[in-house]
Amino acid sequence: MSGDDVIVVGSGVVGLTTAVTLAERGRRVRVWTRDAPGETTSAVAGALWWPYRIEPEAEVGTWSLASLRVYEDLAAEPERTGVRMVDGVHADVDLDGLGSWSAEVSGLRRARPEEVPGPYATGLAARLPLIDMPVHLGWLTDRLVTAGGTVERRAITSFAEADAPVVVDCTGLAARTLAPDDGLRPVRGQLVLVENPGIEEWFTAADPASSATTYYFPQPGRLVLGGTAEEGDARTAPDEATAAAIIARCARIRPEIAEARVIGHRVGLRPSRAGGVRIATEPLSNGGRLVHNYGHGGAGVTVAWGCARAAAALA
């Protein structure tokens, strides 16, 4: 073990992106993970770039824009990276309700009435990164290995078990017991995967005050329908009635979805935290340093690169 050794605990999008950032800065990085990357909450995500259900507001814009610039570059090789730039509409959202970050999103504008589908009168049109997460997580893993890092299946009960001078906590909901942090809570998200009936644009109508959201994302080989944001609900099995309601909501926007063949169901537990993302450092009992990077709620993909750089600066 040397002073350059880092163990990143967690292999979701935040953990892998943080590990890649550190490895490409010359650190010797090992990722310890209870679940394989393809079995994490990140693998279930939709996943559209957009600052959604995440705090603190003062930091989110900077983190999100840093990530946006990376995804814009990665979209040049969509088959390899899983990142594509796709047009779509956020219904019932106005520019005046967004933070200053919105001025830095190229092409973001008020949609014309005829561009907003369904019963909605207003919205924003944009061309944003839409990420095929199973592909992207695989690409991140390969990029980490190319930079000299490793991924090991290893569950821990304490960060003191990690034999490195720097340990980075990207454990998501597991940080509730590992950190420990009672401010973490699950926000359950359920999705339905259907055969795409020819839809090429994404759509969202997400009311932050409601547990039921409406969105569809065209991914390679499937159309992802959503969704839910059920706070405090830790059920991981799909609910049949919820799935039917998701399909019905999406079909009110695009009627052809009602006839699309269902090919799968997904449930993920977003790691929401009172006070928002925690990026901070503290000493370990063995003399090492622990860097926290968790609590990203429903926007881990959106802020992954910005948060990775902030955490790497502390490591």
> Could you give phi then psi for residue 24, rounded to 5 degrees?
-75, -5
* Domains of the chain (ranges, CATH numbers): 5-314 (3.40.50.720)
Q: Which tokens belong to 247?
A: 């399909």
Q: Does position 53 have pLDDT exceeding 60, yes or no?
A: yes
Q: Supply the pLDDT for residue 2.
A: 66
* Nearest-5° Cα angle at 37, 302 to 72: 30
Helix (H, G, I), strand (E, B) or coil at 296: coil
Q: Which of 38-52, 124-138, 172-186 has the weakest average pLDDT? A: 38-52
Q: Supply the pLDDT for residue 206.
A: 81
Q: Does position 193 have pLDDT exceeding 80, yes or no?
A: yes
Q: Which tokens belong to 206?
A: 């997400």
Report the C-alpha gap between 253 and 119 in whole angstroms. Answer: 8
DSSP 105: S
**Mean pLDDT calculated for residue range 168-177:** 98
* Nearest-5° Cα angle at 200, 87 to 303: 45
Model confidence band, residue 42 (pLDDT cutoffs 50, 70, 90): very high
**Pairing, β 150-153 against β 28-33:** parallel
Q: Does position 3 have pLDDT exceeding 80, yes or no?
A: no
Residue from 80, 122, 64 nearest 220 by CA: 80
Residue from 121, 235, 146 nearest 187 by CA: 235
Average predicted confidence (pLDDT) for the chain: 95
Report the C-alpha gap between 127 and 78 in whole angstroms. Answer: 15
Helix (H, G, I), strand (E, B) or coil at 87: strand
